[in-house]
Structure 1
Amino acid sequence: MTTFALIGAGPGLGLATARRFGTAGHTVALISRSAQNLQEIAGGLTRDGIQARGFAADVLAPTSLTTALRAAADTLGPIEILQYSPVPRADFMKPVLDTSPDDLDAPLAFSIKGPVIAVNTVLPGMRELGRGTLLFVNGSSAVRPNPNVAGTSIAFAAESAYAHMLHDALAPQNIHAAQLIIPGAIRPDAEHSSPEALAGRLYDIHLNRDTFRHYAEPLPG
C-alpha cells in the first residue's frame, strides 16, 4: 500500500482530495500547520474507512516539512503521490506598486523552497517504487499575472516553472509532475470547481499521466 501525501490539508479541497485518493486504496498523510485541524480531518477519514494520519508542519519551516514527510512514509508506507496545495497567506497579496523586496521573501519561500524541499524529500522513495506523481495546485495568477496580488503572481509563476521542469526531467523515471490551475473560487455548488470535482480531476491527472498543465475551467476573458 502506498501513501498519498497532502501538503495543505484543510476542510475543503484538501479533505475532498484525501477522500478521493483514500477510497482508491492509498493511505493518506495530511500535512498542515494546525494539529487540531489535522486531528479532525484524519478522524473523519478514519470513520469513512480510510487509513489517515496528520503530521503537523509549516512549509515555511524546512526542517518541519522534511520531518513530517519522512515520518509519513515511515508510518504509513512509501509516498507515491505528493500534492502541494497550501493556501497562501493574505499578506502575500499586495498590489505590485506596494510590494517591496522584503514582501517577496515569504511568498517565494512558500511557493519555491517549500515545493523543492518536499519534492527532494519524496523523490528517493518514488524512485525506489519505480513510479510517482507530483501534483501542484495553483490559482490563475500562476499563468496570468495579476497586479493586485503581486506576491502570489511572482511566486506561483516561479513554482510553475519549477514544476514544468520536473515534468520534463522526471518523465523518463516514470514520475509524473503536473499542475492544476483553478481560475476562480472553489465553491460547493460549482460544476467544475467544487472540492469534489477538483478532487476527481486531480485523481484523473494522476491516472492519465499525460500533459503538464490542466485547467479546472477556462480562464475568464
Structure 2
Amino acid sequence: MSTVLILGAGPNIGLATAKVFATAGYRVAVASRSKPADLDSSYKHFKFDASKPESVPSLFGEVRATLGDPSVVIYNTAQATSTPDGAFTLGLEQFRNDMDVNTTSPYITAQEAIKGFAKTGPGSTFIYTGNKLNVLGWPSLLSCGMGKSAVAHMIRTANIAFPDKGYKFYYVDQRQKDGNVTIPVGGPAHANEFLELAKDAKQRPWHYTFVEGQGYVDFHER
C-alpha cells in the first residue's frame, strides 16, 4: 500500500484530497499546525508549521517511521498576505514568513520527497498547489506571487532533472474556462486531479492548468 503525504490540512483542498486518496487505497498522512476537529480517524496527523522550513526533515522522519516513505507528496500550504496600500508595503518580517511558507519549505519538502522517491521508485509524484500568480502580476499579492513563481521554476527544473528516474513533478493551477483565476478554488476538483496525476505513470505537462470537469487545458503560460 502506498503512502500520500499532504502538507496543509485545510477544509477545502487538504481534507478533500485526503478523502480521495484514502478511497483509492492509500495510507494518508496529513501535516498541519493543528489537527482538524473533523479529521477522519483513519488518517495519521503530524504537527507541522510551514513557516519553519527547518522542521521539514523531522516531519519526513516521523512519516517514514510511521507509514513508510510517501510515494506521493502534495504541498498544499500557502500564505497570501494582502497589501492593498501598494505592492512594496510589506514589512521584512512578514515577507520572510511568506517566502518561507510559499517557497523555502516547498524546496526542503521536495528535497526530502526525492530522498524517499529513491525507494518508492518510478511514478513517485510531487505536487504543489499553485495558482495563476506565476504568470499574472497582482500588486496586492506581490509576496505570494513571488513565492509561486519561484516554485514554478523549481517544478519546471525538477521535471528535467531526473530523466532516468521516472519521478513526476507538477505545479497545479485551477482556472476558469476562459483561463482566468478561479475563486474560490474547488477542493474535490483538485483532489480528483491530484489522484489522476499520481496514478498516471507518465509525466504530464508540469504546469498543469486545469478546468473543473474538463481536466488539463493548455493556456500557453497565460
The TM-score with structure 1 as length reference comes to 0.83
The Cα offsets for residues 38-77 of structure 1, whole Å up to 9 and x where unpaired, read as x63132xx2xxxxx20000111213432212221121112
C-alpha contact 1:145 1:154 (8 A) present in aligned 2: no
Q: 1:130 aligns with which of 121, 135, 141?
A: 121
CA distance in 2 between partners of 1:20 and 1:171 (Å): 29
Q: Which amino acid counterpart does residue 59 of structure 1 have in structure 2? A: A
> Which position in structure 2 is the counterpart of 1:49?
none
Q: 1:213 aligns with which of 184, 207, 216?
A: 207
Alignment of 1:154-173 (within 5 A): 154-173=146-165
> Which position in structure 1 is the counterpart of 2:78?
87
The TM-score with structure 2 as length reference comes to 0.83
Q: Which amino acid counterpart does residue 13 of structure 1 have in structure 2? A: I
Structure 1 residue 100: Cα displacement: 4.8
Count of aligned residue pairs for this structure pair: 203
SS in structure 2 opposite 1:216? Answer: strand
> Which position in structure 2 is the counterpart of 1:96?
87
C-alpha contact 1:33 1:56 (8 A) present in aligned 2: yes
Structure 1 residue 212: Cα displacement: 0.4
Alignment of 1:1-221 (within 5 A): 1-35=1-35, 37=36, 40-43=38-41, 46=42, 52-89=43-80, 92-94=81-83, 95-131=86-122, 132-182=124-174, 183-186=181-184, 193-208=185-200, 209-217=203-211
CA distance in 1 between partners of 2:68 and 2:88 (Å): 47
C-alpha contact 1:137 1:180 (8 A) present in aligned 2: yes
| Unpaired stretches in structure 2, ≥5 consecutive residues | 175-180, 212-216
C-alpha contact 1:103 1:151 (8 A) present in aligned 2: no
C-alpha contact 2:13 2:76 (8 A) present in aligned 1: no
CA distance in 2 between partners of 1:171 and 1:59 (Å): 29
CA distance in 2 between partners of 1:143 and 1:181 (Å): 11
Over the aligned positions, Cα root-mean-square deviation in angstroms equals 2.0
The structure-2 alpha-carbon separation of the partners of 1:60 and 1:171, relative to structure 1 and needing over 3 Å to count, comes to farther
Aligned sequence identity (%): 19
Structure 1 residue 109: Cα displacement: 1.4
CA distance in 1 between partners of 2:32 and 2:88 (Å): 31
Higher fraction of helix = 1
Structure 1 residue 97: Cα displacement: 3.5
The Cα offsets for residues 76-104 of structure 1, whole Å up to 9 and x where unpaired, read as 12210000111315xx2223142355543
